[in-house]
Structure 1
Amino acid sequence: MTGPRSAVVYNPAKVPDIDHLRRIIGEGLSSVGWPEPSWYETTPEDPGKGQAERAVKEGAELVFACGGDGTVMAVVTALAGSDVTMAVLPAGTGNLLAANLGLGADPATGVQVAIEGGRRRIDVGVVEGGRCFAVMAGMGFDAQMLEGTSETAKKRIGWLAYVGGAVRHLRDRPMRARIVLDGGPPMPRHARTVIVGNVGRLQGGVRLLQEADPADGKLDVAILSPNNLGHWARLSWAVVRRRKRVPLMETYSASRVEIHTRQIQPRQLDGDLIDPGRHLKIHVKPSALLLCVPVPAGDPDLAYDVSSAAEAAEDIREAARE
């Protein structure tokens, strides 16, 4: 057989039918003569980084990441800076990177995208301790929203569950923060949240950062400062309408971002909570991740048209059902 050696790093808690996933991937790869992949299961202690590193040591040239946002983030951290390709197979609820790729929740389409051979290098953000993210990091309200959303609700109604988590914290007090961009003078703010993005789309297809480009060597920063329900309504309406100027939101771009707060705040990377803290220091690692993307690759925010891959994926699903 010819083709790259591949591996699958999967989270068993996010994959409802592992046998079906094995058939989907196996049928897809065998249809083009690629060898069978190796399989690596994540654990609560290691959500995917160690498994992806082991896969690379054992010869994998392509790693499929199948799980929630935490699994994808762990694999990104393992592969950033290497020549090993990453392919996203959506599972879980948030699926932020998959959403920005336009993959939806269909692993067969993700397999077909990998087979078709579209590849693109994108930047990644790096936080203290070496953890990487491909979509967004945040401190404040966005992490509170994640913290306030139950796993049960996410399984029942998908990304809409985050709305409930958000409503619980709309009236919370702003945090006193200092934001430092590229070593410049501190910018004091009474902010509800500070988001540092590599791409621009949130859950539900909402685009927060209009200018975000994952291959420009920069990170985009949004400082949101609403302090009552009316402010939230104005800000949300402008974001949904994709207005260039959004009230109560400042945007910047930088290679290095520091967020310092007086009190401990919740923090998140790519939709996955990390330990709360008073600081979040981030820098960009340009062109660090080689990613499978749909063909043709023309949209700078990675929201490509995957219709051709989706049609071809039906053949994979049919074969897997037989």
Structure 2
Amino acid sequence: MVWVIVLSVVALLLAIVALTLTVTIARHLGRRDPLAVPRFWRRTLRITPAVPGPAGGALTGDAERRAQVAFVVNPTKDGTAELRERAMRACAIRYLPEPMWLHTTEADPGTGQARDAIEAGADVVVAVGGDGTVRAVAEALAGEDVAMGIIPLGTGNLFARNLDLPLTDTGALLRTVLEGAEARVDVGWLDVERAFPGHGDDGSHLFLVMAGAGIDAEMVAGADPVLKKRLGWLAYFFAAVEHLGDKRIKATVAVDDGEGVETEMRTVLLANAGKLPGGLQLIPDASVSDGELDIATLDARGGLVGWTELFGSVVAQGAGIKQTELLRTWRTSRIDHRRGRSVTIEMENPQRVQVDGESLGRAQRIHGRIQPGALLIRVPVGTHP
């Protein structure tokens, strides 16, 4: 019995010695090269990368904590080779480590690469591409303490527009992802239920700007790739024209735990943000940091007259002019708006569904919900999303 106690004591002493050696070595490495220390020990021992400053001193604050940057890049976008050179130079002149450069694939548009970057010790993960790449990277970073940067190279660049990023100024974009301010923003989730067989699958999908069902989703699915490359976001409007004569949608909309309301509409939108290309404010009150979804149902009757009136209402909203109940009585279009943390939409017939410009096929029931403050984002200094 005595030898069991002796062995237990010896094992305990050996464990203490091993732990002491591990901590000592980790701290020693941390003073020389913090990024050589495994991420677990860096967090446990509070080792932060102190990179040399221009005068040979150590940078502090955000620069000290955000030393390792990873770029998740859609290689099909024009200009990525030049961007890589500029990113390398931008990191070098700030005495930051060489950035990671990870390409997306057709099978994985960015989520897996972003997770790999986090595992490799990245403190900032930058999405380089269109809205699809941004959404995929955000899916990996939602709920993490790792910041996300954006360098938009897509057609719509919806999320970047709503963050007021300088879309065409690469230098300013690099400054933002490397030394910008940080803010927490909400993300939305769309749960697709009762997907139409052969036209989509059930599941949860993250969105940063808008999800919807109806003509907006038809517009997304029908946009011609060649026109998108030549005309940009205007290609979506040409796709919408083909569906102006579609039947109105009959649906029941239930916000939070409230009773469902039956309605007829052309489209329903679940918005985390409200700005569209061309300066249009589809849902002016939507905010990426208010912890709520903005639910808008849009309807138009009377053919071209109703659609023209609806477009005029959207433009007027951007100027701060909203419909009144008296005017609605005489109008051939309407925009109804509600807010909540979640919404369930049951449609009489399967309708096409989209999230941030990606078609998800057709479904008869969708459920939207908000995840407040889930994403840490790099924004220009002085801006507040």
TM-score of the aligned structures, taking structure 2 as reference length: 0.74
CA drift at 1:271: 1.5
Separation in structure 1 between the aligned mates of residue 216 and residue 125 of structure 2, nearest angstrom: 29
Whether 1:59 and 2:121 are equivalent positions in the alignment is yes
Separation in structure 2 between the aligned mates of residue 17 and residue 184 of structure 1, nearest angstrom: 49
- Which of 210, 213, 221 matches 2:287? 213
Whether 1:185 and 2:259 are equivalent positions in the alignment is yes
| Residues 153-190 of structure 1: per-residue CA shift (max 9 Å, x gap) | 01101111111011111121111111111021111111
Tell me how large the CA RMSD over aligned residues is.
Answer: 1.5
Whether 1:120 and 2:188 are equivalent positions in the alignment is no
- Which of 201, 222, 225 matches 2:275? 201
CA drift at 1:6: 1.2
SS where residue 345 of structure 2 aligns? strand
Separation in structure 2 between the aligned mates of residue 31 and residue 238 of structure 1, nearest angstrom: 49
Amino acid at match of 1:43: T
Amino acid at match of 1:153: L
| Residues 9-36 of structure 1: per-residue CA shift (max 9 Å, x gap) | 11112x2133201012112222222222
Q: Counterpart of 2:316?
A: 241
Q: Counterpart of 1:270?
A: 356
Amino acid at match of 2:323: R
Separation in structure 1 between the aligned mates of residue 154 and residue 161 of structure 2, nearest angstrom: 12
Separation in structure 2 between the aligned mates of residue 256 and residue 9 of structure 1, nearest angstrom: 31
Equivalences for 1:169-180 in 2 at 5 Å?
Answer: 169-180=243-254
Amino acid at match of 1:6: V
Q: Counterpart of 2:147?
A: 85
Amino acid at match of 2:281: R
Confirm or deny: 8 A CA contact 1:89 1:106 kept in the other structure. no
Whether 1:20 and 2:82 are equivalent positions in the alignment is yes
Separation in structure 2 between the aligned mates of residue 135 and residue 163 of structure 1, nearest angstrom: 18
| Residues 273-301 of structure 1: per-residue CA shift (max 9 Å, x gap) | 12321122111101000011112124xxx
Q: Counterpart of 1:313?
A: none
Separation in structure 1 between the aligned mates of residue 366 and residue 97 of structure 2, nearest angstrom: 42
- Which of 134, 138, 149 matches 2:223? 149
Q: Counterpart of 1:31?
A: 93
SS where residue 195 of structure 1 aligns? strand
Separation in structure 2 between the aligned mates of residue 18 and residue 296 of structure 1, nearest angstrom: 28
Confirm or deny: 8 A CA contact 1:178 1:189 kept in the other structure. yes
Separation in structure 1 between the aligned mates of residue 112 and residue 179 of structure 2, nearest angstrom: 28
CA drift at 1:50: 0.9
Q: Counterpart of 1:312?
A: none
Confirm or deny: 8 A CA contact 1:99 1:205 kept in the other structure. no
Q: 1 or 2 for the larger relative contact order (CA 8 Å, sep ≥6)?
A: 1
Amino acid at match of 1:232: W
Confirm or deny: 8 A CA contact 1:30 1:36 kept in the other structure. yes
TM-score of the aligned structures, taking structure 1 as reference length: 0.88
| Residues 198-222 of structure 1: per-residue CA shift (max 9 Å, x gap) | 1110122210111111111101011
Confirm or deny: 8 A CA contact 2:221 2:358 kept in the other structure. no
Confirm or deny: 8 A CA contact 1:25 1:111 kept in the other structure. yes
CA drift at 1:235: 1.5
Runs of 4+ that moved beyond 6 A:
none
CA drift at 1:150: 0.8
Amino acid at match of 1:46: D
| Residues 106-141 of structure 1: per-residue CA shift (max 9 Å, x gap) | 443321112332111011101223421111111111
Separation in structure 2 between the aligned mates of residue 177 and residue 51 of structure 1, nearest angstrom: 39
Separation in structure 2 between the aligned mates of residue 110 and residue 268 of structure 1, nearest angstrom: 28
Whether 1:5 and 2:79 are equivalent positions in the alignment is no
SS where residue 300 of structure 2 aligns? coil
Between structure 1 and structure 2, the one with the greater Rg is: 2
Amino acid at match of 1:115: L
Identity, % of aligned positions: 39
Q: Counterpart of 1:319?
A: none
Confirm or deny: 8 A CA contact 2:90 2:174 kept in the other structure. yes
Q: Counterpart of 2:381?
A: 295
CA drift at 1:195: 0.5
SS where residue 201 of structure 1 aligns? coil
SS where residue 274 of structure 1 aligns? strand
Q: Counterpart of 2:55?
A: none
CA drift at 1:51: 1.0
Question: Which residues of structure 1 form unaligned runs of 5+?
Answer: 303-322
Confirm or deny: 8 A CA contact 1:77 1:130 kept in the other structure. no
CA drift at 1:245: 2.4
Confirm or deny: 8 A CA contact 2:316 2:322 kept in the other structure. no
Whether 1:285 and 2:385 are equivalent positions in the alignment is no
